[in-house]
């Protein structure tokens, strides 16, 4: 009978974290920024059909980096959970905080007891009636939830992109300024990104039920001009 090798828990967790980090670092970064008119989320994504950013509920958006099949399963779970909650209680009872907690639990569980950790990082964003009410929940691959303030960066070069964004904050509270700052931070000094390379979506601070909106093609170029 063979005995399994003893692996200390510190080593096990470190190996799993390295594995997840490596998987996530392969993809491009994603930025979310609060502004006066809501929250804008920008991802580097040349595909127009395989989305990184999507609608979960009236005021709640989902964005992710990492392995597509893994985060799409989480997105579907989120839409289901939110729609069921809204159906059983009221639409107002659906909020980002509890959804973020659910994601954290699911991801945390996979990280510690799954066959392999999920190679994903998530953002659950909720637009409020004013900037005070905006929420950005950043959920990392091991299930940690961070309540971010003002902006949030996910993905491979997150530290670098965050530093650029801090240095080059939006000029004013407009959507256009926020988008310019986000795209400049994603691109860095050596590249320029156009609407073809980007996936852009907004949670709009407007008086209507469904606040999620995609901005595509010429509309993006117009805002970046």
Partner 1 sequence: MQLPRFAQGSDPGPSFVDLLKHSGLSPFNAPDSEVEVPHGTTCLAMRFDGGVLIAGDRRATAGNLIRSRHMDKVVQADLHSGVAFSGAAGPSMEMIKLFQLQLEHYEKMEGRSLSLEGKANQLSAMIRENMPAAMQGLAVLPLFAGFEPADGSGHIWDFDVTGGRYEEREYVTIGSGGMHAGTVLKVGWRSTLDRGTAVTLACRALWEAAEADSATGRPDFLRGLYPIMATITADGWAAVPDAELETVFRGIEEEVRTR
Question: H or E segment at 84?
Answer: helix 68-88
198 binds partner 1 (CB under 8 A): no
Kindly tell me which of 12 and 50 has the beta carbon lying closer to partner 1. Answer: 50
175 binds partner 1 (CB under 8 A): no
87 binds partner 1 (CB under 8 A): yes
Question: H or E segment at 120?
Answer: strand 120-126
For residue 17, count other CB atoms closer than 10 A to its CB: 15
Kindly tell me which of 105 and 192 has the beta carbon lying closer to partner 1. Answer: 105
Backbone angle region of 57, left / alpha / beta, with phi > 0 → left and psi within -120 to 50 → alpha: beta
Task: From 2-10, 100-108, 141-149, 188-196, give the range in contact with partner 1 by CB under 8 A.
Answer: 100-108
121 binds partner 1 (CB under 8 A): no
DSSP-based three-state secondary structure for 223: helix
Tell which residue, 216, 165, 169, has the closest CA to residue 186.
165
| Residues in 130-149 that interact with partner 1 by CB under 8 A | none
Task: From 47-55, 139-147, 163-171, 197-205, give the range in contact with partner 1 by CB under 8 A.
Answer: 47-55
Tell which residue, 189, 30, 185, 45, has the closest CA to residue 121.
30
51 binds partner 1 (CB under 8 A): yes
125 binds partner 1 (CB under 8 A): no
């Amino acid at each position: 009978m063979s005995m399994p090798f003893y692996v200390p828990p510190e080593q096990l967790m470190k190996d799993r974290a390295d594995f997840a980090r490596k998987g996530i670092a392969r993809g491009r970064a994603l930025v979310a920024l609060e502004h006066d008119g809501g929250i804008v989320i920008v991802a580097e994504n040349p595909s127009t059909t395989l989305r990184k950013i999507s609608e979960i509920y009236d005021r709640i958006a989902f964005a992710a980096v990492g392995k597509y099949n893994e985060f799409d399963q989480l997105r579907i779970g989120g839409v289901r959970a939110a729609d069921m909650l809204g159906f059983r209680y009221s639409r107002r009872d659906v909020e980002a905080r509890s959804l973020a907690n659910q994601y954290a639990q699911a991801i945390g569980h996979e990280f510690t007891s799954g066959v392999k950790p999920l190679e994903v990082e998530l953002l659950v964003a909720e637009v409020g009636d004013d900037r005070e009410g905006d929420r950005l929940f950043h959920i990392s691959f091991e299930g940690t939830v961070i309540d971010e303030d003002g902006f949030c960066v996910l993905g491979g070069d997150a530290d670098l992109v965050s530093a650029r964004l801090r240095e080059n904050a939006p000029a004013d509270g407009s959507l256009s300024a926020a988008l310019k700052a986000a795209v400049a931070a994603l691109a860095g000094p050596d590249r320029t990104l156009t609407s073809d390379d980007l996936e852009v979506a907004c949670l709009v601070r407007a008086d209507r039920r469904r606040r999620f909106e995609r901005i595509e093609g010429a509309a993006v170029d117009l805002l970046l001009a």
